Every structure is written in structure tokens, then in C-alpha cells.
Amino acid sequence: MKKTIGNRIRKIRKTKGITQEEISDLLGISQSTYQRIESGETYSWATHLEKLSKILEFKPEDLFSDKPIEYYEKRIEGRTY
């Protein structure tokens, strides 16, 4: 499950054109910690779910849906959290 969630987060992030460094800065965590979320090595995505959903503009339940990744294509500019 955590690999599936991490993979979906990674795909949404890439679709938005945001780097791991940018999103880890917005979350206030190290890039290596964020990388572990995307690779499915940890469940810590749950700790950051609210902020992740705001930054990447998705509803938390979207991580468990089969919406195509193209649904998230809008790039986010100048956001701070």
C-alpha cells in the first residue's frame, strides 16, 4: 500500500512540474525524507497528508482512487505553506 501511495504522490508531483527539493522545502522536511515517502519506504506520507494535498491540489481520497494522473496537470506557481 505505501508503495502505491508513494508512486501516486510522485506522479502527481511530476505532473505539476514540482521538484522533490521544492516540495520537501514546502513540507519542512529533508529531501531524503521526502524521497522515502515517494519510494514507499515509509508511512510518513500520512503525517504530511494535509499539506501534501494543499501543495499538490488533490483531495486525500484521490490517493486511493483511479483518477488519471492527467487530472492534476495544472502547475502551481508561487505557493507557500
Q: What is the per-residue pLDDT across 48-62, written as a single tens digit (0 to 9) for each? A: 999 999 999 888 888
- Higher pLDDT: 29 or 71? It is 29
CA–CA separation, 69 vs 16, rounded Å? 10
**Where does the pLDDT of residue 23 fall: very low under 50, low under 70, confident under 90, or very high at 90 and above?**
very high
CA-to-CA dists, residue 49 to 3, 53, 55, angstroms: 15, 6, 10
The residue extents of the domains of the chain are 2-72
Q: Which of 72, 63, 68 is nearest to 4 (CA)?
A: 63
Torsion of CA 30, 36, 37, 41, to 10 degrees: -150
Please compute the mean of the pLDDT values over residues 21-35 and round it to a whole number. Answer: 96
pLDDT reported for residue 71: 65
Q: Is 11 helix (H, G, I), strand (E, B) or coil?
A: helix
What's the predicted TM-score (pTM) here? 0.77
The span from the CA of 26 to the CA of 80, in Å, is: 7
Choices 1.10.260.40, 1.20.120.420, 3.40.190.10, 3.20.80.10: CATH for 2-72: 1.10.260.40
